[in-house]
Amino acid sequence: MTSFNYHFRPSVRKGRNKGSIFLRVIHQRRAFSLSMRLYVYAEEWEECSGSVIVPHSSSKRYPALRSVQDSLDSTVMQLERIISLLSRQGVYTVEDIRSELLKHSGSEMLSDFIDSVTAAIGGKQPRTARAYRSTYNSLMGFTGGKDVTLSGIDSRLVESYERYLEDKGLHKNTISFYMRNLRAVYNRAVKSNLIGQRRENPFSNVYTGITSTGKKALDAGQIKSLALLDPSIIDRGHTPREGLPSSLRDCLAMFLFCFLAQGMSFVDMVYLRKDSIAKGTLRYRRKKTGQYIEVAVCREMQSIIRYFAPRTKGSDYLFPVIDGTGKPDRLQYESALRLQNLRLKKLGILAGNIGAITTHAARHSWATIAKNELVDVSVISEALGHKSEKTTRIYLGSFKRKLLDKANERIRRAIKKAV
């Protein structure tokens, strides 16, 4: 069964401004929205019937409003014919309806396509959906809020958009982020046959790579300086240091845990469950690669786990980040990641102006210190945490686990002397 209705989207601008009309089609519990590119004032629209309130023919607004309603009626007739035709052909999807409708109504607007794509992938790929939405909002800043058609995404638009982002002083990787997402949306439109594949790629002359940012690795002395901010976190024999806010103590504890757990990624730490630990060994799969990893739980890691234990009673997780509030787990993680990075900057200042620290520093620092401790490069890999890590872990084999544990023990001793 297919249902469809017109709806009104009020203007977000202040004052009396026209809103837009869009069509909403639902088929087999899947839906899409299509902007009609028709505009009326709020008082000229009746939401219950999904139609324009056409005034008396003597009104100045009569010709315009009559024309709008006629366009809406025409689209309905067209849509009914499409559904009837598809029904006779057999099984069809909501994408089939949208594709056929667009063939008759002209080029689809980028906003409509973004709405359709994000609705389809939002449940399984929320970060990708938000990235597409963020890119669209950025592009609207460039166009001054004027929507563009999918067919309007050409080299001239893309290159002008890149210059606009450069003029704003954005980092090269940030510009690449927007370009890669816009390219992904464009490719989806081509694949859906909404626009034809151009002879020349619109993105061939813009930067879509990733520039190395020279991620900061802390040396053993700097890790010591951080640990000294509150030695009680990794050694319960100490009295908690006064003056350090609880939020920064939490941040420090999580950072040190990631470091001690062989440079564990923050996302993997957040999702650790209590049943991940058995017989003194922490076992988990990396979110990024799916690689299975084992880490010996040292005394300092146990201390950090006990530090958070009062706040994780009744929870399956080791750390108090994901709770039972009903908020999506991924959003809770992303919020925690932002806070962690903000607080790490403050800790860097308190520890003697170490400089900007991020969650990745725990991972990068462990690998760097391990290398400085003369641990074999084949054991730790200079590309720890990136694509080659999976290959490296497979190459290591189970017998290399002892080498990793020994390396971790040497690194622990490097900071233990300070506490």
Residue 24 is predicted with a pLDDT of 93
Cα–Cα distance for residue pair 111/139, rounded to 1 Å: 11
pLDDT at 42 over 90: yes
Mean pLDDT of 71-98: 89
Question: What is the reported pLDDT for 394?
Answer: 36
Q: Taking 90 as the threshold, does the pLDDT of residue 341 lie above it? A: yes
Rounded mean pLDDT of 10-29? Answer: 89
Give the tokens for residue 103.
């063939």
Q: Which residue has the higher pLDDT, 134 or 370?
A: 134
Confidence label for 360 from pLDDT (cuts 50, 70 and 90): confident
pLDDT for residue 402: 61
Report pLDDT for 295: 86
Q: What are phi and psi of 25, to 5 degrees?
A: -115, 135
pLDDT of residue 258: 94
Q: How far is CA 401 from CA 4, 262, 365, 368, in A?
A: 60, 11, 19, 18
Residue 68's φ and ψ, nearest 5 degrees, are -60, -45
More confident call, 195 vs 418: 195
Angle in degrees, 0-180, between the axes of helices 246-260 and 360-372, rounded to the nearest 10: 40
pLDDT per position as a tens digit, 376-415? 655 555 334 334 544 344 333 443 556 566 666 766 665 6
Mean pLDDT computed over 299-315: 93
Mean pLDDT of 30-54: 91
> How far, in whole angstroms, is CA 150 from its chain's centroid?
23
Name which residue leads in pLDDT, 416 or 391.
416
pTM, full prediction = 0.58
Ordered DSSP codes for 41-84: -GGGEETTTTEE----TTSTTHHHHHHHHHHHHHHHHHHHHHHH
What is the rounded average pLDDT for all residues in the chain? 84
237-251, 337-351, 358-372 — which one is most confidently predicted on average? Answer: 337-351
Question: Measured between alpha carbons, how far is 33 from 114 in angstroms, rounded to an integer?
Answer: 10
pLDDT at 286: 85
Question: What's residue 165's pLDDT?
Answer: 94
pLDDT of residue 383: 32
The pLDDT tens digits for 92-130 are: 998 889 888 876 655 578 888 888 888 888 778 888 999
Cα–Cα distance for residue pair 219/364, rounded to 1 Å: 10
**Mean pLDDT calculated for residue range 246-258:** 95
The tens digit of pLDDT for each residue in 147-166 reads: 888 888 988 899 999 999 99
| Mean per-residue pLDDT, 257-267 | 91
Summarize pLDDT for 202-249 with one digit per residue, the tens.
Answer: 999 999 988 765 557 888 888 889 998 998 898 877 888 778 899 999
Tell me, what's the pLDDT at 393? 44
C-alpha 357/C-alpha 342 separation (Å) is 9
**pLDDT band with cut points at 50, 70 and 90 for residue 281:** very high
